Amino acid sequence: MRALPGDDILRAVVRILDEGIVLHAPDSSIVAASRTAEVILGIPSSRLVGSRTLFPDVPAQGPNGAVLDAGHEPAPHALRTGAPYVARSIQFRRSSGELAWVDVQATPILAPDGAEPVGAISVLHDVTRLRTLERGRESLEPALDVRRIAPGDLVRSIRPALQRVVGDGVHLDFRMVEPIESIETDPIQFKQALFTLAVFARVSMSGVGDLQIALEDVHIGEAMPVRAVSCLKIVMTDNGAGVDPASVDRIFEPGFASMPADQRSGFGLVTVRDFVQRAGGTIEVESRVGEGTTFRLLFPRSTSRAAHVT
């Protein structure tokens, strides 16, 4: 594998550019990012360098709503084909938790003999404001696209992506008490919520530990916030550093981060809470310093005959 020509110089140049520029090595890993790119993506360069994706915390989504696998981002595509590649309206969440969109054009850097790419450059264009205007909304929070989903099948389908999010150092333990009935919610935002909670767990465990995700149908009393008699219960438990009591009480506040500044990665827990509540459910958190954190989510069970989505 060839190295980037004059890579130290290239890194220095990329850092000072006013455009959203990201420099990739031949294996698509990021070697440098401009400050403008950091602002657009909402991620510091220290989190980007070494990653093989522009979205290392929570997987982004393409225009069709499907999770955008790292291998199908523009840079890897350009490196495989040796030709420029453009992806428009990639949807992701910034470190603040806000929803954003970006157009990305990747161009391969060819060796002098033109035999193979020795790297690639991604040019990022922030199109969040344009997309917001197109949607005719002041808010960046999308409306729920409610579907009837099978939670068990959906969670199984994203298990590989969840493993990539938490990394090889985290053991994922899935537990499902069958049968699990359908619920009515937005499948894309449902998956995004799980990814966001997985990121929280990964950072809390410093990339090494155990994360358990348990699903089961439960019956609740009338005094519970969720009015439905039967609900889907999701419990996500990590054995990380935990959060102190004062921070637990504020963990869902907009812009609040419970981790030290050098560990924050934009959990966007407020967006998870807002989604769950808009879906008619509830979310609770319990945490102990040195032991870990548990999130408990309740979603009303579906009784609709709406189209089935997995």
17-45 pLDDT, tens digit each: 557 889 999 999 999 888 889 989 988 88
Instruction: Give every strand in the sheet of 183-185, ordered side by side.
Output: 183-185, 147-149, 308-309
The predicted model scores a pTM of: 0.58
Given 135, 163, 180, the domain boundary residue is 135
Domain containing residue 162: 147-309
Residues 280 and 217 in one domain: yes
Residue 1 lies in a domain: no
Q: Are residues 297 and 157 in the same domain?
A: yes
- The enclosing domain of 19 has a CATH number of 3.30.450.20
Q: What is the pLDDT of residue 229?
A: 64
pLDDT of residue 205: 93
Instruction: Quick: pLDDT tens for 203-251.
Output: 899 889 999 999 998 877 544 454 546 889 999 999 999 988 888 877 8
88 backbone dihedrals φ, ψ, rounded to 5°: -110, 150
Considering the domain architecture, whether residues 278 and 155 belong to the same structural domain is answered as: yes
Residue 106 lies in a domain: yes
Q: Which two tokens stand for residue 259?
A: 């981790």
- Tell whether 93 is covered by a domain: yes
Tell me the CATH number at 290. 3.30.565.10
Q: Please state, in angstroms and rounded to a whole number, the distance separating the CA atoms of residues 300 and 182.
A: 9
Quick check: is 55 in a domain? yes
Coil, strand or helix at 105: strand
**Statement to judge: residues 84 and 191 lie in one domain:** no
Point out the residues of the chain with pLDDT beneath 70: 1-18, 64, 114, 133-143, 221-229, 253-268, 302-310
45 located within any domain: yes
